[in-house]
Amino acid sequence: MDLKKLQYFVAIVEEGQITRAAQRLHMAQPPLSLQLQALERELGIQLLARNRGKVEPTQAGWALYRRAQEILRSVDSMVNEVKELGAGVRGKLTVGTVMSCVSYLPDTMRKFQARYPQVTFELWEGDSYQVEEWLRTGVIELGITRLPVLSDVEIIHLHTEPLVAVHPPGWGAWHERRIGLSEFADKPLLILHSHGGRGIYEMFIEMCQAQGVHPNVICESPDVATLLTLTEAGIGVAIVPALAVRLRPEGALRYGVIEPTIETDTAVIWSKQRALTTAATHFQEMLVAHVTGS
């Protein structure tokens, strides 16, 4: 089996039609159909179900599609690494991040671009679970996320910060910069809640239960920017990491640190199964130095 057949198969699955896949690959439809038939004969199993011009992967087809993606990305990574050795640091660096850590990026990217102007960026934003999944499947090289992580990855701790409560405008500000949990009992709360694992939502609820507080949670979202927007619209009090406040201009939000203190950790992660490119290694080192001051 050669890589071309895998590339053809991935294109057909992603386009859902052989005709569109042929257009994407800049080739005629009949040769592409023949390549698909040859692949199915080689494996001895049907990979796609045909229905009125559309195709849908069989169970075996989905398995091949996932593995083919991993193989093709691994080959791309290898080619980029070899090219770097001969031509210096260049290419595209893919980084996934949770929205609450986006403020780590500007200074690091600015410094990195000044040193390596031939490297471009592709950024993916999601919750912690999505960042790990993108890393596992090879969509990204580096992930900036919140701990804990569920998968077996390389980890460098970046920062520990408290959770804060962001107050809607016009509600009357808290008088102190530290806010006890009991003050939330009668207020509608908007909480950052990622998919999978034990995160900020779980830590906040557990602390409330330990303090005998029954929080009035009216909204959960994995997108911290959405929560801040809702808070600015007067929907409720946002419970977010302190770093998230930097997503708005300085002084734009009124907030206080929650007591007892609930802390959350950030980290940069990457796969143990794939070696980092030179560009990713340099970016990771710059990011760690910027955040930790080391």
Q: Is the pLDDT of residue 253 over 90?
A: no
Length of the chain: 294
* Mean pLDDT, rounded, for 231-260: 91
Looking at the domain 161-264, which fold is it? D-Maltodextrin-Binding Protein; domain 2 (3.40.190)
For residue 163, the cross-strand partners are 241
First to last CA, the chain: 48
* Mean pLDDT, rounded, for 200-220: 93
| Residue 78 pLDDT class (50, 70, 90 cuts) | confident
Q: For residue 200, what are the CA distances in angstroms to 96, 97, 123, 262?
A: 19, 16, 23, 9
* HEC per residue, the chain: CCHHHHHHHHHHHHHCCHHHHHHHHCCCHHHHHHHHHHHHHHHCCCCEEEECCEEEECHHHHHHHHHHHHHHHHHHHHHHHHHHHHHCCCEEEEEEEEHHHHHHHHHHHHHHHHHCCCEEEEEEEECHHHHHHHHHCCCCCEEEEECCCCCCEEEEEEEEEEEEEEECCCCCCCCCCEEEHHHHCCCEEEEECCCCCCCHHHHHHHHHHHCCCCCEEEEEECCHHHHHHHHHCCCCEEEEEHHHHHHCCCCCCEEEEEECCCEEEEEEEEECCCCCCHHHHHHHHHHHHHHHCC
227 in Cβ contact with 238 (< 8 Å) = yes
Residue ranges, comma separated, of all CATH 3.40.190.10 domains in the chain are 89-157+266-292
Pick 89 or 152 by higher pLDDT.
152
Q: Please report how many Cα atoms fall inside a 13 Å half-sphere around the Cα of residue 7, on the Cβ side.
A: 13
The pLDDT, as a whole number, for residue 173 is: 59
The pLDDT, as a whole number, for residue 219 is: 96
The pLDDT, as a whole number, for residue 13 is: 92
Q: What is the CATH number of domain 89-157+266-292?
A: 3.40.190.10
Mean of per-residue pLDDT scores for the chain: 89
The pLDDT, as a whole number, for residue 170 is: 78
pLDDT in tens, 126-176: 999 899 999 988 899 999 999 988 888 999 999 999 999 999 887 765 656
* Mean pLDDT, rounded, for 78-100: 77
pLDDT in tens, 2-54: 888 999 999 999 999 898 999 989 999 899 989 989 998 999 999 998 887 78
Return the ∠ at Cα 197 (arms to 195 and 201), rounded to 5°.
Answer: 70
| Residue 85 pLDDT class (50, 70, 90 cuts) | low
Residue ranges, comma separated, of all CATH 1.10.10.10 domains in the chain are 3-74
Residue ranges, comma separated, of all CATH 3.40.190.290 domains in the chain are 161-264
- What sign results for the dihedral spanned by CA atoms 198, 204, 210, 213? negative
Q: Which CATH class is domain 3-74?
A: mainly alpha
Going by C-alpha positions, the residue among 25, 5, 269 that lies closest to residue 146 is 269
pLDDT in tens, 66-77: 999 888 888 877
The pLDDT, as a whole number, for residue 62 is: 92
The pLDDT, as a whole number, for residue 51 is: 81
